[in-house]
A and B are shown apart, each in its own frame.
Chain A
């Protein structure tokens, strides 16, 4: 399920292969999300990561670390490497060199895309991808963290813990009044919240969000800011956004990427006053 929800274009191999989930079931013996070791105060750690595409260095000696419960905003001009960075964290792209650790004990480079999702790293792409024909409730139900093999799914019955989890998520994303609404009829902003809710159903430790407020109305943007502030602390979030007023509202720490590495890091006001940051935004 996690693969279905999170991949922009799920590969046919993943979709059609019923054995797919059993191929990742060895994860349970390797360590579930609860086993992520946070003793060193880091949930995500990238060191000296580089990747080139046809000789072009999309990521160039990038180092970055995220604390548990942190809400980190990432900004940067075109081609700074923001999307490639998320591709590396989620296993979509393999770096040429460098280290990528989830907690202090899980080397993400040893895992593939669906395994990384199962470890507890959720990713939301820019476009909303919900099941439009299903209701809000059904979308969340589908996203439940559980055995998704045929037999288990056919005989599935929602337990009371699962039900209360679902209601909790509904309230978090403020869609409790649209429980039975068909997802396709929701507004753009509501669809984005529903998809975030679907990620939350999987109890991710780390959420990556790509331009979550693009195309939202001002009011929706405002509510999304509130949502992120409630998620912070319970989850770690990495938010890539172009909407500076939104970033100013939610951010504690902002990282500016440029040409594949970190150009500046600090509070919004600090990076806003940084001469080098101003220069890259003025295209010099």
Chain B
């Protein structure tokens, strides 16, 4: 059984057909990368998965359960952690408070897992700083840690490298690899930074004009010419 399976998703903004029969899946212990130029529907697909926008038709199965009719918060509770594009850190809350927001689906007495500070040591030093005072790279790490706080089974990341300095991109890549290797979590990574995605991919999916135009094992990305599909 696949951890996540989206089947024949159709999504419209008004009469505008954005996602056309999109089917993708993700497995435990693997990184699935979602590639495509800007404007092809990647973020719309992730928002549809999270329940942030409604879909017209199709099914979403997570852990064997249909979740396409659940509201957003219950999808998070079911075990999907989302790192949105642009991070959406709460600027006026401290790092600690931001991390606590990630625990919203847990009992009030829950503690922030100590493991998060091993993954991102910088967050421990910054614990009482305001989120808005962090650098872009630190905010991105905070957003990933916040999504991990509730112990999700699936981590969904929307362009975590966008506008981030190279050293932190490397750091984020290392964490994603490590999380996948633990084999208790699946990772769905949407990226426009091709080399970063290729290095991490166990599976890849390429979208164009709202459709999946190619998918397969990450190891075959070079021979299948995925790079050319993403460039213009």
Interface on A for B, CB 8 Å cutoff?
Answer: 75, 77-78, 127-128, 187-188, 191, 211, 214-217, 242-245, 271-272, 277-278, 281-284
Contact = CB atoms under 8 A, between A and B. Distances in A.
A77 B210 CA distance: 17
B192 to A, nearest CB: 4
Contacts of B12: 215
A284 B195 contact: yes
B17 A211 contact: no
B161 A78 contact: no
Given A127-B13, A214-B18, A277-B232, 7 more contacts: A128-B15, A188-B14, A188-B16, A271-B232, A282-B230, A283-B191, A284-B193
Nearest 10 pairs of A and B residues by beta carbon: A215-B16, A242-B39, A188-B15, A283-B193, A282-B194, A283-B192, A281-B231, A78-B38, A278-B231, A215-B17
Interface string B181-201: 000000000011111100000
Contacts of B209: 243, 245
Contacts of A78: 38, 162, 192
A242 B40 contact: yes
Contacts of B194: 282-284
Q: Give chain B's interface residue range (CB within 8 Å of chain A).
A: 20 to 34
A244 to B, nearest CB: 5
A245 B210 CA distance: 13
A211 B227 contact: no
A281 B39 contact: no
B54 to A, nearest CB: 15
Among B192, B231, B232: residue with most chain A CB under 10 A: B232
Contacts of B230: 281-282
Interface of B: 12-18, 37-40, 161-162, 191-196, 208-210, 227, 230-232
B37 A214 contact: no
A188 B193 contact: no
Nearest to B193: A283
Nearest to B208: A244
A128 B195 CA distance: 37
A282 B15 contact: no
Among B12, B17, B39, B195: residue with most chain A CB under 10 A: B39
A216 B123 CA distance: 45
A258 to B, nearest CB: 12
Contacts of A245: 209
Nearest to A268: B232
Among A128, A271, A281: residue with most chain B CB under 10 A: A281
Contacts of B161: 283
A215 to B, nearest CB: 3
Contacts of B192: 77-78, 281-283
Contacts of B232: 75, 244, 271-272, 277-278, 281
Nearest to B40: A242
B231 A188 contact: no
A75 to B, nearest CB: 7
B15 A191 contact: yes
Given A75-B232, A214-B39, A282 B227 contact: yes
Contacts of B231: 272, 277-278, 281-282
A148 to B, nearest CB: 27
A245 B39 CA distance: 14
9 contacts: A128-B16, A188-B14, A215-B17, A216-B16, A217-B17, A242-B40, A281-B37, A282-B227, A282-B230
